[in-house]
Amino acid sequence: MTEAGKRGYLKEDFRLFHLKDSRAQKVDYHYHEFDKLILLLGGKTAYLVEGVTYFLQPWDILLVQHNLIHRPVIDPSEPYERVVIWLGRDWMAARSDPGEALDTCFDATRRRGFHLLRTEGEQRLQYMRTLQRLEEALHSTEFGAVRLADSLCQQLLIEVNRDVLRDPKVEPDCCRVDPKVEEILRYIAAHLEENLTVEALAGRFYLSRYYLMHRFKDVTGYTVHQYISQKRLLRAGELIRSGTPVMKAAEQVGFSEYSTFLRAFRNTFHMNPRDFR
């Protein structure tokens, strides 16, 4: 398997796609530099997000934060219909109030390691109404349509945040997770700057090297080395964009040799770190 590639470029504040496919397409693992909401309207689809498989039902909302590695697995027996919203991080920050960031829902789901919001009843109707109005505003040429769409997208995010911050009711069959691999993924995310060889991880989690390698690949679709390398590069990219000097960013995410970092960075982002900034 090749490493995950970046998909999509968001030049606007946000974008909404209402898509319906009659033929299932194979989508490789990928990530985005923006946050993404996926609302399933029809079809049979599972989503793999950072080692957890979510079995979506109509009007489930999946929250995929920037740089999370994910891909859908689409059942071709039914048309796959969904609304996908790309959300610019700068736009969300500009629209947020002190102590109430609009991207709180993405931070919360990443910390929990659970990215699904299952809606029902009146809650579902509210999302339907907000989405319908948002789509209409985005296609309208009437006075104030752009500002209305902006405010409706904020309203949608407020609704998602409120529901995520409550304790959502989760059905036990909504996802499949390997507790040991999930524990390893959390450890990797928190210790990117440390020694994360297969041998070191196997020793820390009392697993055989063989079992760790094969179980990790089965659950995540990645080898241990591929996954750690990808996560280190994505974290380095964020640090560089935030103003951290390139060599310091490489060191902070665990690259001991700058030449190795530079080669891997170019292969992933197709540009030099200073151009990436």
Tell me the pLDDT tens digit for each residue of 225-248: 989 998 998 889 889 888 899 999
pTM here is: 0.84
How sure is the predictor about 1, in pLDDT bands with cuts at 50, 70 and 90?
A: very low
What H or E segment, with its residue span, contains residue 61?
Answer: strand 60-64
pLDDT tens for 99-129 read 999 999 999 999 888 999 999 888 999 999 9
Answer whether residue 130 shows pLDDT above 60. Answer: yes
User: By CB neighbour count within 10 A (0-12 exposed, 13-18 middle, 19+ buried), where does 49 fall?
Assistant: buried
For CATH 1.10.10.60, the residue range(s) in the chain are 178-276
What residues have CB less than 8 Å from 158, skipping those under 6 apart? 102
For CATH 2.60.120.280, the residue range(s) in the chain are 5-165
Q: What is the pLDDT of residue 168?
A: 64
Domain 178-276, CATH among 3.90.660.10, 3.30.70.1380, 1.10.10.60, 3.30.1360.40: 1.10.10.60
Q: Which class does domain 5-165 fall in?
A: mainly beta
Q: What is the pLDDT of residue 154?
A: 98
Query: SS3 for 91?
Result: helix
pLDDT tens for 188-203 read 989 999 989 999 999 9
Write the DSSP symbol of residue 2.
P
